[in-house]
Structure 1
């Protein structure tokens, strides 16, 4: 649907440019050879624009037909509910993964800053225990964030596999019955 809207926007912008060009041509009114060529080009552009509008209308109709067919296929409420449940589970996992990745990035930024401060202190010949402690804490937080990101990634993989495994487990259960 966004492709169609994008094409409509592009067509509208093209029409505006063509209209502006046509107004300028009319304002200059003296159809010299160059102006005649421009007028011919304008007419060609108008024709091309009309053809594009027709193609857009055909694409819109085709898209509408395809959407109706897809909606008909998704008419089975149980299937839709199952897919929605899977989508919600995957969305929760994705949000958690994003949160953990943000935490990991922040921890890595802290670690870089602490390491830069340590390098400066070492270059100056000053041993700062506070900087060493900050670097160690940033490193620990980085490790925790990395573990959390790994756990979230594993949960995301599990969320993708569970529907497949449930689909495999159901036929086996039906055979036992």
Structure 2
């Protein structure tokens, strides 16, 4: 029994020493854990701020993209309208010119047979010339529209100082 009492005493003493060690380590361990938790909270808050900034950037990019797509869609529709109007005008002019040429051919045949007066032929020829001028003007208008759309694409890029470069790479001072 004395062995049991002696072991019991030793166990009690060991438990007391363990308790004292825990008492000493307890506040330190809690302080270390509290500091680590605080650091983790700060890091979490920083990540939330970064995430919010990224969300804002994504939203801004989406809005810009949607705005750009809408603008491009409007521009395409506008250009389609211009093209349709131009094509309709050109088709009408070609039809009128074709009819005018047929009339002039018939008038020439009538003159050749001696059935028409020369001033009518002159009048018809003037009308044909006017129709040809109108066709040329329509073609010119169509070319101007194409050139206006191409101009921004082929314009020289501005230099670092904000001036465009010429075709030979020379400055204006030279």
TM-score in terms of structure 2 length: 0.44
Query: Which of the two has greater helix per residue?
Result: 1
Higher relative contact order, chain-length normalized (CA < 8 Å, sep 6+): 1
Instruction: State the structure with more CA Rg.
Output: 2
